[in-house]
Structure 1
Amino acid sequence: MIGAAAGWPLDDRGAAYGDGLFETILVRDGRPRLWDEHLARLARGCHVLGIPMPAEHELAAPLAEAGEGLAVLKLTLTRGSGGRGYRPPADPAPRLRWQLSPFAPQESRWEEGVRIRHCRLRLGIQPLLAGLKHLNRLENVLARAEWSDDAIAEGLLCDSEGRLVEATAMNLFWQRDGQLETPRLARCGVAGTLREALMERLAIAEVDVGPEALLAAEAVWVANSVQGAWPVVRLDAADGQPVGRWSLGPAHRDFQAEAHRLLGYPPPAST
């Protein structure tokens, strides 16, 4: 279901320019997971873009429509209409839309692990927008269009200077020499809410490295606040040739278990 008057006016700045933000939230039995982290990221985005932050009760209103079981709530906030061309209005009237959809996680990917690949596309560097979940996601769309094989679960993205950043819709983590690591997101990329919560609970180092770092890793994961954590068992180059393989072990399951506790998912089966 779509709330707050379905559809967008043609002059909405979010539709025209990507001038807005969105959050995708896992809801379990009417209760949002990582709600505080989602609100904090949305507030950061509103501050950077200069869009008034809606009141929490406005953002939480769609939860009244959620029933039992799992659902995903997508909140989309734009600057609204107005302004002239790229020049934003001096006094914006933000527009909030929401969509609530039933959801079922892909449990086989939790248990069996996933195959991922490197993408050819490189992310542009823009520190002002780094970490935000803004509406201009054309880079991710083009990266995801690079493959159609359903056996490949995700694609890894580097920035224009060759540093690892993220996957197309998930954050990236690995363990190297016993240390958990994740790419630093000071130049580009989306700082996921599950990533934020995990970094508060686990000793995860933020690093600036190229993709070669993964070849020295004992374990690799991709994760987000909806799907949970998928252990990686195979990594392919952009041409489809395998460049890394991992067997599932206790390290994979320990990290997964922490991620799944935060989302209310069951712990993974031991390996």
Structure 2
Amino acid sequence: MLRPDDRGVLYGEGVFETVWIRDGVARLRDAHLARMARSAALLEITLPDPAPLVDEAEARWRADGEGALRLVCTAGPAGGEPVLYATVTPVPEAVIAQRADGVRVVTAEAGVSRERPGWSLTTAKTLSYAANLAARRSAGDRDMLWVSTEGYALESPTAGLVWLSDGVLHGVAGDGVLPSVTVAHLLSEAGGVHGEATVADLDRSDGIWLVSALRGLAEVIELDGRGRARSPWTGRLSRIVSRRPG
């Protein structure tokens, strides 16, 4: 399907989305497809319509299991057409376990400012994920939370960030951060707001969670080696993330 000279292969010039399929339904489908279209536009890629692939994935995936639908669009060869394809695999058991067990997190400076130049692609979900995967490997059995040069929490290599402060749920505002579909949904349903937080702010918060399409909601139970008490909000927020949007 992919030519050796496809720009997605040569340069990582392409975009993707990962969508959670449960009970035969691609959750938050419209929001994921809208983000994929925005990402493709930032890379000046003409995105073929992914809706038929989503329809087929919903029809083919077994209704009693959780599926990870991955939509990929590469830029294609120079002068050629973009290539769009999809895969569906089971959601890994280790990812599902994090919903109940929580995650241990270490912070690391991302080496970037929240103020990004106009050409920056940090708000696009591109195929250039080598740095994200390297960050995860360096964290070992923990997850990583990137921090800007100004000291503000940004995101995990594969998840968005939310935290609870003074009874209000907060999510990163999105300055130079990939806008998380699941975080946006959670804030909307829980009456949350966008905001910013330093690591010290997170330490003082009443709850911290990493949120993504497949992981759902995973509570941070340790931050930079400091254990955290479990939040009574975790069950409520997990139910919001897991229930089928009405």
Q: What range describes the TM-score normalised by the shorter chain of this pair?
A: 0.7 to 0.9
Amino acid at match of 1:261: R
Task: Name the structure 2 match of 1:227.
Answer: 215
- Code of the residue aligned with 1:216 in structure 2: it is R
**Which residue type is aligned with residue 146 of structure 2?**
L
Secondary structure of the residue aligned to 1:115 is strand
Q: Say whether the 8 Å CA contact 2:109–2:149 is kept in structure 1.
A: no
Match of residue 145 from structure 1: 137
Query: More deviation in 167-176 or 60-69?
Result: 60-69
Considering only CA atoms, is the larger Rg found in Structure 1 or Structure 2?
1
* 1:234 and 1:245 in contact (8 A); partners too: yes
Gaps of at least 5 residues in structure 1 are 83-88, 237-241, 265-271
Matching residue of 1:114 = 103
TM-score, normalised to structure 1's length? Answer: 0.79
Paired positions, count: 240
- How far is the alpha carbon of 1:220 from its aligned partner? 0.7
Pick one of 39, 58, 61 that aligns with 2:33: 39
Residue number among 241, 244, 253 corresponding to 2:235 in the alignment: 253
Pick from 63, 67, 77: which aligns with 1:71? 67
Q: Structure 2 length as normaliser, TM-score?
A: 0.87
Aligned residue number for residue 17 of structure 2: 23
Matched to 1:220, the amino acid is: I
Deviations 1:4-44 (A, max 9, x none): x3xx3221111111211001111124321111111110111
Cα-to-partner distance string for 1:101-157 (whole Å, 9 max, x where unaligned): 122554443223221111354346455424321112232122112122x3x2x1101
Identity of aligned pairs, percent? 27
Could you tell me which residue of structure 1 aligns to residue 127 of structure 2?
Answer: 135
Question: CA-to-partner distance for each residue in 1:155-188, whole Å, 9 max, x for gaps?
Answer: 101134332110121111111122211222122x
Kindly indicate whether the alpha-carbon contact (under 8 Å) linking 2:69 and 2:87 is maintained by their aligned counterparts in 1. Answer: yes
CA positional deviation for 1:56: 4.2
* Aligned: 1:169 with 2:169: no
Matched, 1:206 2:194: yes
Query: 1-side partners of 2:24 and 2:242: how far apart?
Result: 18
The residue matched to 2:35 in structure 1 has which SS? helix
For residues 150 and 26 of structure 2, what CA distance do their matches in structure 1 show?
Answer: 37
The more displaced of 18-27 and 43-52 is: 43-52
Q: Deviations over 1:219-266 (max 9, x none)?
A: 111110111101111111xxxxx2x332223222222221222489xx
- Mean Cα deviation higher: 246-255 or 13-22: 246-255
